A and B are shown apart, each in its own frame.
Chain A
């Protein structure tokens, strides 16, 4: 690849040009990552902070998409932080890495460069035990304070540990069934450090939360800005609170009714999805991704298969998906986007007081879309539809239910006709009604205009994604900025609004609903034209245990809630492997909470519920 002409501004050089520039400027500290199937650069962690500044300011990679750790136990025995930085103007990733020992792992914090690294570094500390000097608030984020060990490390074993990798030998041919808890009784499956006396164990996790808010006591008498004496106090919203859309907690300090600081507390639904993913085979992970953002499982599948397909394409035996397969994928993910946005708007309205009337209107359309998913993929929400290089199945000719022992009702629609009617009548009508019902509604406008403001600079710097980012005036949509699948030939506009408040996010979602319908209308003729084409390049379904070559891949898609990325490392030898070494999910719901604190400051307690709703999170993905 030619490097950029010397007089071209550095902020628009190619990725290779940027790497060359870094290598020229820091010959000692920057080296190419030359492991087989890897890319990007390895940076000496002593100079990481300086180089990160250069990457952001001089080279223009202002958006830190993902920062995650990998444990190379037995393969170099080091820890590695992997960063994917993008330009908010579009283009590919600059991947850079920093390595450290496994014992006393330490890498400088990049929070001062990209605030978006905040939660991600806390996660790396929590799950991998990497210390980040310079991090303003380094404590556990998914596990509780006081948890023993760092569960994503390769030598950490879960309570019902059986084997390093699936499939387990005990299942076949001598599969005498037992329950895990029979062999490993609950309570006896936990190791406590020897010095701990269980009877005197104190829960210190709470005081850590309060201290990070700068509080020693619960209530303090203060003067407010107008000179009135008020009380400053701590309010816990959640974990069991109807507004939090799941088990999620916000600890706020309020001065009267005004929020002075807010800290999200999460992890109540944590199940170490990534550890499970590393025990699984590549194929096993697809249905597990359904359970991340369970509103848009099709999109989750898509990101994951894209990442694994990137790795598979390094090997010899790999066929690109056929055009029909790509068209079907886009059909499914755009339908999920519609479901996601209808759901997000509906529940946000619930949060600000339009209780259930609008959301039930939207759910009628959602039901029909889910009926369609069920007829095609077999399940309404846990679709498990995409496969590496293909799909579970083509569209059925008819959406049909037969009467039998478990059914007493029958329906039978022509699939294409059903879709045509949905795209030309029902969904556009619902969007129109949605606007008629709400866009000019005075109460809605008063509640949401100017509330929960996030500026464009902050949105980028905090790694906000999806409607949260675009609602702050940043026209960044991965389908356009870094196109995948067949999006580059589809005609649609990136929805963007400048105000950065709750209302702007609402408007972005409505626009995206319309754009999705526009895309879907372009998909229909493509489906007609490819009728009869196989969804598999070689006409037959892929293998159940594909061998994935050595390497790393980062697959990302624009999901309803924002950028969903999967960082996958395959440590296979010559013939590849069928279990991933590293499986990381860059969850938009999780990272979009990073700016929640600054978005809430100065607003009233009652607005917090709406602000959270306007971000649109789902806890299955936040907590993983």
Chain B
């Protein structure tokens, strides 16, 4: 009968409408409160109906890996002796991997010898140009530049506010640990210490006398329990890779050597064919 399709669709819209209110009742109108767990429910897979986030009164939480314009890590209460020192060694890698080339670094020079020193004299990021790709943080070998979570950077004048200098970019290490505890913990494991590599080296070398005030070695700097649990739940991908793979060759998804060998052989064959062609 003409119109049944239409009517069915209208029933569905009605159900969606009702579902939204049922959810309100189910969660006891908690979406209007600031209780922390209701957001998790409403954004999860079990909820039905629509949800409106009352931005800017409330904001959707962003996950740890979220990336917005980068900031530079400086030492803080972890290293009371040299708070404010950059982790950055001005190696220049971030400036090279930056796709739109918006990182500008002036490498520091020793005023006496004129030789380069491993810290930046100036560091700029043009945030109008930054495309938030995250490469700088990904490829920095010193964990010195990280992607921020603060996305509210609008201003009235782009000519005065949008080139972030070193002062504007610098944030303490503890801030990084607060926005990305899992990542920070993994990096600590990889480095072996909560401190910057160089600082750890120095600490090992000369300052054993003043241990009490110097940065503590990693083993003693026990992470908070929550962080530990989190980090253990996320194993370092590189560590536990191989053994699981080799064990079971029968399932199609285990990384079976023969298959990889086969693919590699095929690639080489293609190559040989091309080479043969270019020969004749």
Give A contacts to B, CB under 8 Å: 1, 32-39, 166-168, 170-177, 179, 280, 283-288, 313-314, 320, 322-324, 327, 357, 360-361, 364, 368, 371, 374-379, 382, 384, 392-394, 396-413, 418, 421-422, 425-426, 433, 436-445, 489, 525-526, 529-536, 539-541, 544-545, 551
Contact = CB atoms under 8 A, between A and B. Distances in A.
B222 to A, nearest CB: 19
A401 B95 CA distance: 29
Contacts of A444: 5
Contacts of B280: 32, 34
A171 B104 contact: yes
Given A176-B122, A406-B150, A426 B45 contact: yes
Contact of A440 (B8, B50, B271): B8
B116 A173 contact: yes
Given A172-B92, A425-B45, A532-B241, 11 more contacts: A1-B273, A167-B101, A175-B95, A283-B97, A320-B264, A323-B255, A371-B63, A409-B58, A442-B2, A442-B6, A541-B138
Interface string B155-197: 0000000010000000000010011011000000000000000
Given A34-B277, A421-B45, A530 B50 contact: no
Nearest to A41: B277
A172 B245 contact: no
Interface in B133-157: 133-135, 138-139, 147, 149-152
Interface in B231-280: 233-235, 237-238, 240-242, 244-245, 248, 251-255, 260, 263-264, 267, 271, 273-274, 277-280
Contacts of B131: 287, 382
A489 B252 contact: yes
Interface of B: 2-6, 8-9, 12-13, 16, 34, 36-37, 39-40, 43-46, 50, 58-67, 90, 92-93, 95-99, 101, 103-107, 116, 122, 124, 126, 131-135, 138-139, 147, 149-152, 163, 175, 178-179, 181-182, 230, 233-235, 237-238, 240-242, 244-245, 248, 251-255, 260, 263-264, 267, 271, 273-274, 277-280
Nearest to B100: A284
B96 A167 contact: yes
Contacts of A532: 235, 240-241, 244
B253 A327 contact: yes
A396 B181 CA distance: 13
A345 to B, nearest CB: 14
Contacts of B138: 392, 541
B16 A361 contact: yes
A412 B124 CA distance: 35
B63 A314 contact: no
A393 B5 contact: no
B90 A173 contact: yes
Given A173-B105, A401-B63, A533-B244, A408 B181 contact: no
B244 A531 contact: yes
Contacts of A525: 253
Contacts of B242: 534, 539
B32 to A, nearest CB: 14
A101 B152 CA distance: 53
7 contacts: A32-B278, A166-B101, A173-B90, A379-B132, A409-B60, A410-B36, A442-B6
A422 B178 contact: no
Given A167-B96, A525-B253, A532-B241, A374 B106 contact: no
B58 A283 contact: no
Contacts of A33: 277
Of all A-B residue pairs in the complex, the 8 with the closest CB atoms, nearest first, are A401-B61, A440-B5, A175-B104, A173-B107, A534-B241, A411-B40, A172-B92, A34-B278
A29 to B, nearest CB: 18
A209 to B, nearest CB: 34
Nearest to B254: A529
Nearest to A434: B12
Contacts of A409: 36, 39-40, 58-61
A425 B43 CA distance: 15
A412 B61 CA distance: 10
A405 B150 CA distance: 8
B59 A408 contact: yes
Please indicate which of the listed interface residues A392, A405, A436, A532 has the most CB atoms of chain B within 10 Å of its own CB: A532
B276 to A, nearest CB: 9
B277 A396 contact: no
B96 A172 contact: yes
Contacts of B277: 32-34, 39
Nearest to A411: B40
A39 B124 contact: no
Given A172-B107, A378-B147, A404-B179, A410 B40 contact: yes
B93 to A, nearest CB: 7
Nearest to A578: B96
Nearest to A167: B96
Given A407-B149, A489-B252, A534-B238, A36 B278 contact: yes
B41 to A, nearest CB: 9
Contact of B39 (A38, A179, A286, A410): A410
Given A357-B13, A407-B62, A442-B3, A175 B234 contact: no
Listed residue (A286, A396, A536) with the most chain B CB atoms within 10 angstroms of its CB: A396
B126 A406 contact: no
Contact of B12 (A39, A379, A437, A442): A437
B263 A404 contact: no
Nearest to B8: A436
A15 to B, nearest CB: 10
B101 A402 contact: no
A360 B238 contact: no
Nearest to B165: A177
A176 B278 contact: no
B96 A544 contact: yes
A449 B9 CA distance: 19
Nearest to B255: A323
Contacts of A441: 5-6, 9
Residue in B9, B66, B103, B133 with the greatest tally of chain A CB atoms within 10 Å: B9
A478 to B, nearest CB: 18
- Of residues B46, B96, B163, B238, which shows the largest number of chain A Cβ atoms within 10 Å of its Cβ? B96
A176 B238 CA distance: 38
Contacts of A174: 106-107
Given A396-B65, A402-B64, A404-B149, A171 B255 contact: no
B233 A397 contact: yes
A375 B96 contact: no
A411 B93 CA distance: 35
A530 B43 CA distance: 28
Nearest to B51: A364
Nearest to B45: A421
A406 B152 CA distance: 9
A445 B9 CA distance: 13
Nearest to A543: B139
Nearest to A170: B104
Contacts of A394: 237
A379 B253 contact: no
A360 B151 CA distance: 25
Contacts of B264: 320
Contacts of B124: 175, 177
Q: Most chain-B CB neighbours within 10 Å: which of A283, A397, A402, A540?
A: A402
A37 B149 contact: no
A258 B267 CA distance: 54
B44 A413 contact: yes
A38 B105 contact: no
Nearest to B67: A378
Contact of A374 (B62, B122, B139, B163): B62
A350 to B, nearest CB: 15
B65 A314 contact: no
B150 A280 contact: no
A407 B58 CA distance: 9
Contacts of A167: 95-98, 101
Contacts of A399: 63
